A and B are shown apart, each in its own frame.
Chain A
């Protein structure tokens, strides 16, 4: 480390300095000063950046959550350009295969897609991850990212119907899975009206029918007072008891309801 400090102080941008940063990074991959200096040296020496990627990879194997590493990686990829795309997306896949919710890896993947492209297979990839684990919210989030931003899918409106179908199926299969519920609402972000009017949705979870009302009423177990006539209020009352962990929240929600006509 002392050698590094000396060479850093002298601002020596030489192959020797590069080797020293390598040693220093092995000792402590969290030292951002070393990483920064390494970039200066790499630039000065015009080094082969493919080799640099291999170096990063070796460090990454034991430090997949290191910030500096991911930052450095973006710096290298940016300079390599679209030639690096396929390899990079593949590599992120292999990291995700070990840790499928790694936040850095997902952020990096989104960055690569936006900077270099490679959207074509991304929906299939999400599909595959969700088949493995429908409870994986990172995969749901990536799916949302793809359907809203992929230049190949035509935007959210174009895919909405099929995405609604997909999430409704997931809800029916696992009603206690929060991911597809949130995803479904996300498909109608800022447009609750349309969500309510989407028949695909209302036929499954929002039936404004007598049958639905009866099902709600059946959940009410208190004999002390009757269930409120207003359905939304009634549901909050029920949730306050059924979901007691969030009792205060349901009371709060109930108080926020518009006054029933």
Chain B
């Protein structure tokens, strides 16, 4: 039924990737079991070595990403934390010092020492200094390092009264982490962004849509849009807003496809969809999104390779293991917290696990599809949990302990783990976009984050240990759980949460 004309560029590129991935899977299936388990093993030591070397080299040699060194810090530190490793104390001290030097006296973080220091508020109106994205990266880095020195080195910007935190995911995420998210801040962020908009600081960053609460007496309804880029080689996040009384306009970033775009009218994209959804959850407005069309869009981003693509008919890329995979972690939380009965939930017992295979080798097809991933357990759906109307922001991800309560992930977790381990992993250390590409810290971070999400995708509570069959390859592949809203390791989140709640 295919059209008989010659393949288009999209078809040709896709075919090339499929051939490469499938031949890799074929080689894998033809190996003896011992080699197979080696191939599926997460090469922790090599990854840690690659990452630690990267952290040591965060000196002046980084050129193109000079302005983004806090990002590299975060990617590396978070990756190391996911593997439950630590950096040695001296390196840790150096990193904290480095990040402190990036901090602007007025709050926020710039890209490198000295970059943030000059214009203060004025420059924020026309540019992004200190860069919102960088602030997010720096705060996440320090939270990931943990400990009093790191956590207390953040000058929480809310104190000054004037707003330094701008817009959406990065702003809201930072504020929420630092326990300074309140109605006033949301309002201030809104007003701040309103001014940015009027000044014409139309940023070309990617964005997501968000809607602030109706705050204060004036019921200022404003839309915050953040931008978060899912690509490795840039300044990851920016911000920008459009303001209107119309919710419809604000939600225009959710496209006709169901995913969320950078700006109204642009194409639905994994990175923006994650950020948009996370932000909407953080400010308690997630109900305004069309979640079923969002879910419908994101489930179709997982391709025959097992990994995710960022947009319709684009190529698979390991980094979307988190941007798209993380969406499922957020949705899982929403459903379990809200008690929606739409996702079939398990019966809360350890028994009767779904039937994912312990290794991928047994009966998968050549394409590496997991035929028997799950069986119909529609009998088991039921109303769990209280049906409180709103998600409790601070508690999402660490609310309650439901033990081994089991949910069925709406994506194929084992297929994704297989893609990450076999296609994205560089056995010499580091992870990558796809076979044939080189490793880098960005992909290492988001492939590992995605892997962590996968391993706990059957659990209702990220804090509980997953069952062996949920972890593809040896159980030693198990990574630390993350808090899906912030993408920091869960216990580091909890430490920071306590620290900032009590101080």
**A96 contacts partner chain B, Cβ-Cβ < 8 Å:** no
**A179 contacts partner chain B, Cβ-Cβ < 8 Å:** yes
Q: Is the interface of B mostly helix, strand, loop or mixed?
A: loop
- Bound together, the chains give a CA A189 to CA B262 distance in angstroms of 20
Contact in complex: B118, A110 (CB < 8 Å): no
Contact in complex: B265, A249 (CB < 8 Å): no
Contact in complex: B111, A33 (CB < 8 Å): yes
Give the chain A neighbours of B111 by CB distance below 8 A: 31-33
Size class of the A contact interface (CB-based, 8 Å): 35 or more
Give the chain A neighbours of B343 by CB distance below 8 A: 252
**B184 contacts partner chain A, Cβ-Cβ < 8 Å:** no
Contact of B204 among A8, A67, A134 (CB under 8 A): A67
Contact in complex: B129, A30 (CB < 8 Å): no
CB distance from A139 to the nearest CB of B (A): 10
**B2 contacts partner chain A, Cβ-Cβ < 8 Å:** yes
Contact in complex: B204, A71 (CB < 8 Å): yes
In the complex formed, the residue of A with least CB distance to B207 is A107
User: Among residues 359 to 378 in chain B, which have CB atoms less than 8 Å away from a CB atom of chain A?
Assistant: 369-374, 376-378
User: Among residues 268 to 312 in chain B, which have CB atoms less than 8 Å away from a CB atom of chain A?
Assistant: 268-269, 292, 295, 297, 299-300, 302, 304, 306, 311-312
Contact in complex: A36, B313 (CB < 8 Å): no
Contact in complex: B415, A245 (CB < 8 Å): yes
In the complex formed, the residue of A with least CB distance to B309 is A137
Give the chain A neighbours of B385 by CB distance below 8 A: none
Q: How many residues of B contact A (CB 8 A)?
A: 78
Cβ proximity bits A169-210 to B, threshold 8 Å, 1 near / 0 not: 000011111110011011101000000000000000000000
**B402 contacts partner chain A, Cβ-Cβ < 8 Å:** no
- Bound together, the chains give a CA A139 to CA B34 distance in angstroms of 47
Contact in complex: B204, A244 (CB < 8 Å): no
**A216 contacts partner chain B, Cβ-Cβ < 8 Å:** no
**A132 contacts partner chain B, Cβ-Cβ < 8 Å:** yes
A135-B235 in contact given A9-B118, A189-B256, A249-B410 (Cβ < 8 Å): no
Given contacts A31-B66, A245-B415, 4 further A-B contacts (CB under 8 A): A28-B67, A71-B205, A71-B238, A137-B314
7 residue pairs from A and B, CB less than 8 Å apart: A5-B114, A31-B115, A71-B203, A74-B204, A110-B266, A135-B8, A185-B256
Chain B residues at the A interface, C-beta cutoff of 8 Å? 1-3, 8-11, 63-68, 110-111, 114-115, 118, 123, 126-129, 131, 200, 202-206, 229, 231, 233-235, 238, 255-258, 262-263, 265-269, 292, 295, 297, 299-300, 302, 304, 306, 311-314, 342-344, 369-374, 376-378, 381, 408-412, 415
